[in-house]
Amino acid sequence: MRRDTLSRRSLLAATAGCTLISTSVASVVGNTAQNDGEGVNRDSILVREGTDEETTVSVTTGGADGPTAVVVGGMHGNEVAGYAAAGRIADLTIDAGTLVTVPEANAVAIERGTRNDDEGTNLNRQFPEGETPDTRLARELWDVVSESDPDILIDLHESTGIYAGDPADGVGQAIFHSSGDEAADAATDAADFVTRNHVDDPALAFQTGPFSKPDTDPAGLLAHKAARDLDADGFLAETLSTGVELETRVQWHTAIVERLLEDELLLDADDGSPSEEPVDEEPADPEPEPEEPVDDGADGDESPEAESPIARIGTRPASATETVLEPGQTVTLDASKSRDPDGELVAYEWCVGADGSFEAAGETIEVTIGANGDHPVALRVVDDDGSTDIDRITLSANC
């Protein structure tokens, strides 16, 4: 990536990890600096120490000069694979440069298991470009990022829908990137590599797409601000949060990060596969959605394995899962985006509340929020083979 900028940042990478962060917003955890015997130093730094928002930043410095990378997880508390993978990435051994990792950026939302914090604040909308971040937590996290001055920033997320060119339908299984051919090529290379080596279902192949333009929604994203205010190569990786085992999603996130950082921090590829030349891609045009798999049985005497249905919950208003609702407000839950790859859906079953009972039925239902707090919703779809899938969201209310 941007090798012409590395000489300035290499001097920063060679310093002790604690000097990367302003002591006005964070403190080094006592006696955490370690050397693993191979020239790799590790430090831990606390952000928002002593508050409910307290979280740990890991700083790993390699034995040779190199670029600086920042990896962030847990901006949203219900996107488990992102912060689980970031925790693993914090333990990586690097040969060069500096790796700054924030595994659990939004500790309050992670504790709650919800997208937003207890005041309904979406942390990943608090980073306006060219301006000071909007909340105390966002400001202190931004100080960590800006004083690290990264060459590359990767933010790990999850989505309940698969990206197919329209973010309104979901952004899962996608790597979004900042402008410029190098970032676009790196995203394409990582998407192809992870799909080829770690994805069994063609319908879950990773796509790529450009960041939204400045002054358009969604706005206030950390990765956007890092790319535009700091000239970093920015990436936002999204996995599908439903219908896939957590360990698989964590593996996808980890492989994406390792591929993006392989040349930057001199990481070793973990599977021995030869690297391919990156594919040129127009930044404005995401790759098309892959076709459904075709049965190519040679003799026709072996039945293909039945594919499971895919449950998807949509809401009207569309922002119902991202904003705090008012008690008494009615939300329409819509299952029309659910599908069965090799058949048809025969039932839509809804569980509203925490009792676990799927008592409501229908492709759409209406839910009236009756009290403050979180209201979990689950959709179970059944196909004509009797297979099922479940999607979940949380509606939050506060007067």
State which of 28-32, 241-245, 392-396 shows the largest mean pLDDT: 241-245
Q: Is the separation of the CB atoms in 54 and 47 below 8 Å? A: yes
Does residue 317 have a pLDDT over 80?
yes
Q: Is the separation of the CB atoms in 225 and 127 below 8 Å? A: yes
Q: What is the spatial distance between Cα 245 and Cα 338, in angstroms, rounded to a whole number?
A: 19
**Residues forming beta bridges with residue 324, ordered by sequence position:** 396
Does residue 112 have a pLDDT over 50?
yes
Give phi and psi for 113, each to the nearest 5.
70, 30
Does residue 343 have a pLDDT over 90?
no
375: confidence class by pLDDT, cuts 50, 70, 90: confident
List of residues 6+ apart from 99 with CB closer than 8 A? 58, 59, 60, 62, 68, 69, 71, 89, 90, 92, 261, 265
Cα–Cα distance list, 85 to 233, 239, 329 (Å): 20, 11, 36
Would you tell me how many other CB atoms lie within 10 Å of the CB of residue 18? Answer: 18
pLDDT of residue 306: 62
Instruction: Pull the structure tokens for residue 203.
Output: 């319908």
pLDDT tens track for 183-209: 999 999 999 999 999 999 999 999 999
Q: What is the spatial distance between Cα 37 and Cα 39, in angstroms, rounded to a whole number?
A: 6
Does residue 58 have a pLDDT over 50?
yes
131: confidence class by pLDDT, cuts 50, 70, 90: very high
pLDDT of residue 22: 39
State which of 10-24, 110-124, 320-334 shows the largest mean pLDDT: 110-124
Does residue 331 have a pLDDT over 70?
yes
Sheet with 373-383, side-by-side order of all strands: 324-325, 388-397, 373-383, 345-352, 360-361
Q: For 120-135, b where at least 16 C-beta lie within 10 A, e where not — what string? A: ebbbbbbbbeeeebeb
Does residue 66 have a pLDDT over 60?
yes
35: confidence class by pLDDT, cuts 50, 70, 90: low
Radius of gyration of the chain (CA): 22
Write down all domains in the chain, each with its CATH number in brackets.
Answer: 3-261 (3.40.630.10), 314-397 (2.60.40.10)
Q: Is the separation of the CB atoms in 68 and 97 below 8 Å? A: yes
What is the dihedral sign for C-alpha 68, 163, 352, 389?
A: negative
pLDDT of residue 3: 31
The pLDDT mean for the chain works out to: 81
pLDDT tens track for 274-313: 333 333 332 333 343 333 333 333 333 333 456 778 888 9
Comparison of pLDDT for 264 and 104, the residue scoring more:
104
356, 332, 346: which is closest to 381 by C-alpha?
346
